[in-house]
Amino acid sequence: MTAKSTIFKFPVKAKSTLLLLTAAGLSFPATYYSNLLPFSDDSPLFPNKIRFAVEGIVRSSRAVSTITLVLADYKYSLYGLPLDSKDYPLVSSQVHLRSAKRMLNLCEKNRGFYAKAGQFVAGLQKVPKEYSSTLSSLQDQAVPCDFKVIKEALVRNLGRDLSEIFLSFGEQPIAAASIAQVHHGILKNHQEVAVKVQYPGLEQKMRLDTTVMSFLSKSVAWFFPEYRFGWLVSEFAETISLELDFIQEAKNSEKTADNFKNNKLVRVPHVFWDLTTKQVLTMQFCRGKKVDDVESLKDMKINPVKVAKALVEVFAEMIFIHGFLHGDPHPGNVLVSKEGQDGFSLVLLDHGFYKKLDEGFRLDYCRLWKALIILDSNTIQHLGERFGVGKFSRYFPVIFTGRTIDSKSSPGEELSVEERKKLKHELKSLKMEDISSFMESLPPDFLTILKTDGILRSHIRKLGAPQRVRLEAYAKYAIYGLSPKLDPESGFAVTVAYSRLMANISYFHLRLVLEALELLSWLRKFKQSLRSFYGKIRGAVGGLLAFTFVL
């Protein structure tokens, strides 16, 4: 018998307890003694290499101890509790909430990439609501770095003293995030700029933190084989590595500006290349309010529903036509400015994380949305196989349009009672292992779209717009995305005009389908109301007749 098989002779519960307590015991001293260090981080007695090593041990130990507690809580709180038990929803929700609070505490203490990871998870919108609601508070909790450190980074990167470049430079940051902070400055030529400065030493921290996160995800999968989060860690690691290169961010910014050069509704800040390096990015300063700040929009006399429509159309164009998608449209990265032809414009910021969609994937995704609108189950299944998710493709309509694959309701409409019961019964048969397999099988492009789409849905809800706005925009741009990409200045004017005509016809066909489905839904509801009304009438008449008969 091998050593491995001998280990598994122990009861699973006892083995888990031993390993969890050991991990917690090893991690506690490092976390505890870190608070007893006799000198601060900037002390001359505390060289950078030693400081980095100690900080790495503390951060890693804190992460291991937190995940250990989370695993123990799940293991023992849900032990022996059947999934179909009436107590399971309440108990699991309580465990989710306790664990989410522990994770929030970890992210707040470790900051940096842990805070970024928490934001990343909250933005997925596919995690339990306890996690997304709890971790969403990380969006506005970044602690600014001391200006002395920031000034040193600026001088080192720009090669000159700030007084030689700027008329004035604000020491207090106007925005702070997990990997950088932004300062307002005025150049010698009186141009207002926003200067984004990366916190020093992030690349070393990134390598350590992502390695620890990978180890922890594998540990979770070892204890709970049905919970596999390797896909999440790898996607996060890719996101972070892209966001640390400000040169690439500047290039992404310019490409986006070029993609929307004919769209007066979109503004992308100009990049000052002579004041931009891998760790410093200098851009045109743009004023505006966060895209989900409804009260401020109303104060500016801007219709929030129009903003929602414009926002979703901009991102639909990125996905379906450009194939070049801004992967992090949280409120601070999309501002609404009063400047614009229609009374406002959208200012796109933070171009660090972009996903260049594979052309074959882009076309398949366009076909998927066309099939989702008309509920073409055969095409949905075929595309699901191409995306690598097989039988799980039947849940695409639920994920994206809120209806089942055999639904008779219109897209964006709430499911009927019967449909909800049927869907609930289907979902009960799904195990966590099935969900993990589904997420692992999806192409990376799809995962980025899921995350972005979840954030957009949240904005649409806050702005008070119906989800139909999103569905119509996606349908329109999916059709346009399937038409040939022809240059109107190429000389083939007739071909271009014909292509656009056919795209418009296809789009109006889908609009008719949407309108027809909505009309049928309204007629069904009207019919049900009539039945209910006549039932009440019959009941009242029957009661009156009975009363008369008794008299």
Just list the catalytic residues.
328
CB burial string 433-444: b at 16+ within 10 A, e below:
eebbbbbeebbe
Tell me phi and psi for residue 550, to 5 degrees.
-65, -40
Longest CA pairwise span in the chain (Å): 104
Task: Tell me the three state secondary structure of residue 39.
Answer: coil
- Judge whether 176 and 184 are in contact, CB under 8 Å: no
Residue 210 near residue 169 (C-beta atoms within 8 A): no
**Burial classification of residue 254, based on how many CB atoms lie within 10 Å of its CB (0-12 exposed, 13-18 middle, 19 or more buried):** middle
- How far apart are alpha carbons 321 and 18 in whole angstroms? 54
Q: Are 334 and 346 in contact (CB under 8 A)?
A: yes
**SS3 state at 244:** coil
Tokens 């910014």 sit on residue: 253
Structure tokens at 102: 């522990």
CA 354 to CA 326: how far, in whole Å? 5
Local structure of residue 271 (DSSP, 8 states): B
Return all residues near 549 (Cβ < 8 A) that are at least 6 apart: none
d(CA 224, CA 215) in angstroms, rounded, equals 14
DSSP character at residue 189? T
Beta bridge partners of 336: 289, 346
Nearest by Cα to 170 from 150, 142, 153, 152: 150
Note whether 337 and 367 are within 8 A (CB). no
* Distance in angstroms (rounded) separating the CA atoms of residues 377 and 368: 10
**Residue-by-residue DSSP string for 269-288:** PPB-GGG--SSEEEEE----
- The helix/strand count (H/E) of the chain reads as 21, 11
* CB crowding 276-295: b at 16 or more within 10 Å, else e: bbebbbbbebbebbbbbbbe
CA dist 233 and 216 (Å) reads: 10
Alpha helices in 78-197 (DSSP H): 88-110, 112-124, 129-135, 147-158, 162-165
Positive or negative torsion for Cα 145, 146, 147, 149 = negative
